[in-house]
Amino acid sequence: MKKTAITLFFLLQAACLFSQIPRPEYPRPQFERTDWINLNGEWTYTFDFGASGLERGYAGSKGFDGKIIVPFAPESKLSGVGHTDFIGRIWYQRTIDIPADWSGRNVMLNFGAVYYTSEVYVDGRFVGRHFGGSTSFSYDITAFVKSGGSHSLVVFATSDLRSGKQTAGKQSLQYASHSCDYTRTTGIWQTVWMEAVAPEALARVQMTTDIDQQQLIVAPQFFRESPNTLRVTLRDGGKVVGTRQVRASNSSVVVIPVKKARLWCPEDPFLYDLTYEVVAPDGQVLDAVKSYVGMRKVHIEGNKIYLNNEPYYQRLVLDQGFYPDGIWTAPSDDALRRDIELGLAAGFNGARLHQKVFEERYYYWADRLGYITWGESPSWGMDANDVETARNFLSEWAECVVRDRNHPSLLTWTPMNEEWWPDNTQFPRFASDVYDLTGRLDPTRPVNTVSGGAVVRTDIWAVHNYEQNPAKLKEKIFSDGTFFHPRLRTTRDQTRNIGFNEVKATANYAWPQYDGSCPYLVDEFGGIKWVKDQEKQATDSQTESWGYGQAPRTLEEFYTRLEGQVDALLSLSGQVWGYCYTQLTDVEQEQNGIYCYDRSAKFDMDRIKAIFSKRPEHPAR
C-alpha cells in the first residue's frame, strides 16, 4: 500500500504540473516542420524484471497497468513513477491517431532519445531496433498505419548499466547515488513525435559556414532522390540575403554567397534564418523546413584556438544537465534556457556539456543567447578496452556528431572523459578511430578526444587539476595537470601511434610531456565544496555532501580561494587558452556548484561574476 500511495502521489503531482502536453515545443528547432504531432503525455507502462515480456505478448499490448508521463524517465518524479532501483527492461504503450489528411505522405515516428536499446512495435508488428541511449532516431511507419486510423504503439527499452558495454555517464553503478555519480535514467527521456513528410522530402543537411570565402555551403540528403528542385533561401530578418536552387539529389551542393556576413560570436550571437523547400516541376512545394545558421569559424593555429580568425579565450563551466525532478530531462524548455542564463550571469562565456548528450533544444538556446558549448558523450561506465563496447560507442557517437554539427555554439567535440587503459589492450586503436571518425563527420571543429585522460590523438591538450591551493595550482598545471598521463599527440593526417606491444606498465613507461604544439586548456578545476548557509550549520551537517578538497571554513575564504584559482590560470597568459570550472550547479550529493541543485543562488552573484568575467593578460577576448 505504501508503494502504491507513493506512486499515486507522483502521478497526481505530474498531472498538476502537466495539465497539457509536457515539453510541447518542437524538439528539433534547426530543422522544423509545421505538420507534426507531439506524443508526450500519459502512456501506459510495465516493468519486465523477468525478461518475459516478449513471451507474454507485450509487443501487441493495448495497454499496461501502470501510467507514466513521457518524456520523463521512470526514475524521475515528473514521470509519476519515481522508481530509482535498477530497471533492466520497461515496456511503454499508447494509442496513436493518424490524421486523415496525412494520406499520400510518409509518417515519420521520431524519438529524441531512449536509454539504452529500444524496440518499436505498431499493432504488434516489429518496426525497428535502435542501439544507443543518447541520440535521436526515426522510423518511417507508413506501411504500419492508415490515414484516419488508430494504432497501438509499443516501445520496449532495455538497459544493462553494469555490463560495461554501454555508455552510462554519471549514472550510478551502485544502488544509490554516491560521490559524483547520481540517479539513473532508463527508457524514454526525450520527446516522441510524429510528422508527415513527402516521400521526396529533405532528410537532413550539413552546413559549412565558410567565412573566408564569404559563403554558406549546404550539402542536402533526401529520403528519396527525385527530379524536383531544392530551393534554399537565406534571410537577415525579413530581407532575403541569397537564394539558390539545385536538383533534389544527394550529390547536389548549394553555395550561397554571404558578403560582409555578420558573424556569430558570444558577444554578438547573430543568426540568419534559413528555409529549405522541395519544389515539384509544377511549382508545388512538397516539403518546407525552417532553420537558421550562425556564420562563424573555429580553428587551431599553433597553441591557440581561434574564433572567426581571432584568438579566443574560453571561460567555461562544467554543466552536467541534471534536474531534481526530471534527472536527465529538463522539466521545461524554459529550464534549458534558464541554465544558460545562469551561466552567463555567473560570468562564463560557455559550458562544457559533461557526460551527457544534451537535447537539441539546449543547443538552440545556446545558439540564440551566445553561449559556447563543448559536446561530449556519457563515456563513463563503459569498458573502453572491450571491442564490443568500442563498436557500440562508435555508432552512437557518430549519430551524435551528425545530429549536432550544424549548431554554431558548439565549438569542440569531446568524445570521452578520463579514459585509461592497462597493458596490451585495444584502447589506443579505439581512441584513434574515435578521433578519425569525428574528424571525417565534422572537419570544422577541433576534437578533444579524451578530456583529462590518456590521449592517443587529439587537437587539444586538456587537463584536469583539482589542487585547491592557488599557488600550488599554478605550479602544478604543466607538471601534473591531468589525472592520467597523456599520450603523444598527432595530427589528423599523421599515423604515428604507439604500438600495442610498446605500451608498458605505467610505473615503467616514459610518458611524453606537453610540447607546446597544440592549445593547452584546463578543462576541469575548482570543484570547491560549499553547502548553502554552510557557516550557520554544524560541522557534521556536511557529511553527506561531496566536493573536491577541504571545504572553506567561511564564505570569505571561499571567494578568496576561488579568485586565487582563477587568477592563477589567467596569469599563465599565452600558455593556457581556456578553463572549465566545476561546476554550474550542485547535483544531488555533490555540492560544489556555483548554484544550488534547485538553481537558487548560493553566493553573491555580483562577486562571482566579477571573478569569472576576468580576462587574461594577452589580448584575446
Q: What mean pLDDT value characterizes the chain?
A: 90
Range of the domain at 375: 306-612
Do 310 and 276 lie in a common domain?
A: no
Q: Mean pLDDT across the stretch 465-491? A: 67
Helix or strand run (H / E) with residue 558:
helix 555-570
From edge to edge, which strands make up the β-sheet containing 254-257?
A: 202-210, 215-222, 254-257
Do 291 and 415 lie in a common domain?
A: no
Do 281 and 323 lie in a common domain?
A: no
pLDDT recorded at residue 499: 31
Asked whether residue 255 is domain-assigned, the answer is yes
Last residue of a domain, one of 295, 320, 349: 295
CATH number, domain with residue 486: 3.20.20.80
Do 42 and 129 lie in a common domain?
A: yes
Asked whether residue 551 is domain-assigned, the answer is yes
CATH number, domain with residue 136: 2.60.120.260
Last residue of a domain, one of 130, 163, 193: 193
Do 464 and 580 lie in a common domain?
A: yes
Domain count, the chain: 3
- Cα dihedral sign, 587-589-590-591: positive
Q: Considering only CA atoms, which of 399, 323, 483, 384 is closest in space to residue 168?
A: 384
With a pLDDT cut of 90, the percent of the chain lying above it is 83
Asked whether residue 301 is domain-assigned, the answer is no
CB atoms within 10 A of CB 512: 12
Q: Looking up cell 572523459, which residue turns up? A: 417
104: left (phi over 0), alpha (psi -120 to 50) or beta: left
Residues 234/274, Cβ–Cβ less than 8 Å: yes
Instruction: Give per-residue pLDDT as tens, 21-33.
Output: 999 999 999 999 9
pLDDT recorded at residue 246: 98
pLDDT recorded at residue 480: 54
**Is residue 593 pLDDT above 50, yes or no?**
yes
Instruction: Give per-residue pLDDT as tens, 285-310.
Output: 999 999 999 999 999 999 999 999 99
Q: Mean pLDDT across the stretch 407-436? A: 89
Q: CA 539: distance to chain centroid?
A: 37
DSSP-derived 3-state class of residue 392 = helix
Q: In the chain, helix, strand, coil percent, each to 5?
A: 20, 30, 50
Residue 567: phi and psi, rounded to 5, are -60, -35
Do 312 and 270 lie in a common domain?
A: no
pLDDT recorded at residue 488: 33
**Is residue 455 pLDDT above 90, yes or no?**
no
Instruction: Give per-residue pLDDT as tens, 326-368.
Output: 999 999 999 999 999 999 999 999 999 999 999 999 999 999 9
Instruction: Give per-residue pLDDT as tens, 254-286.
Output: 999 999 999 999 999 999 999 999 999 999 999
Asked whether residue 204 is domain-assigned, the answer is no
Do 291 and 336 lie in a common domain?
A: no
Q: For the whole model, what pTM was predicted?
A: 0.92
Q: Mean pLDDT across the stretch 365-382? A: 97
Q: How far apart are CA 352 and CA 374, in angstroms?
A: 5
Do 527 and 606 lie in a common domain?
A: yes
Do 596 and 552 lie in a common domain?
A: yes
Do 152 and 60 lie in a common domain?
A: yes
Do 465 and 357 lie in a common domain?
A: yes
pLDDT recorded at residue 541: 43
Q: Per-residue confidence at 417, pLDDT binned at 50, 70, 90?
A: very high
Residues 293/232, Cβ–Cβ less than 8 Å: no
Instruction: Give per-residue pLDDT as tens, 112-159.
Output: 999 999 999 999 999 999 999 999 999 999 999 999 999 999 999 999
Q: How far apart are CA 170 and CA 379, in angstroms?
A: 9
Q: How far apart are CA 223 and CA 7, in angstroms?
A: 43
Asked whether residue 618 is domain-assigned, the answer is no
Residues 270-283 as b or e (16 or more Cβ within 10 Å = b): ebbbbebbbbbeee
- Cα dihedral sign, 127-129-134-138: negative
pLDDT recorded at residue 508: 35
**Is residue 17 pLDDT above 80, yes or no?**
no
Asked whether residue 202 is domain-assigned, the answer is no
Asked whether residue 341 is domain-assigned, the answer is yes
Q: Considering only CA atoms, which of 189, 165, 157 is closest in space to residue 53?
A: 157
Residue by residue, DSSP assigns 75-136 as TSTTTT----S---EEEEEEEEE--GGGTTSEEEEEES-EESEEEEEETTEEEEEEE-SSS-
Instruction: Give per-residue pLDDT as tens, 484-511.
Output: 333 333 333 332 233 323 333 343 334 4
Q: How far apart are CA 286 and CA 281, in angstroms?
A: 10
Q: CA 66: distance to chain centroid?
A: 30
Asked whether residue 620 is domain-assigned, the answer is no
Last residue of a domain, one of 295, 319, 349: 295
Do 218 and 312 lie in a common domain?
A: no
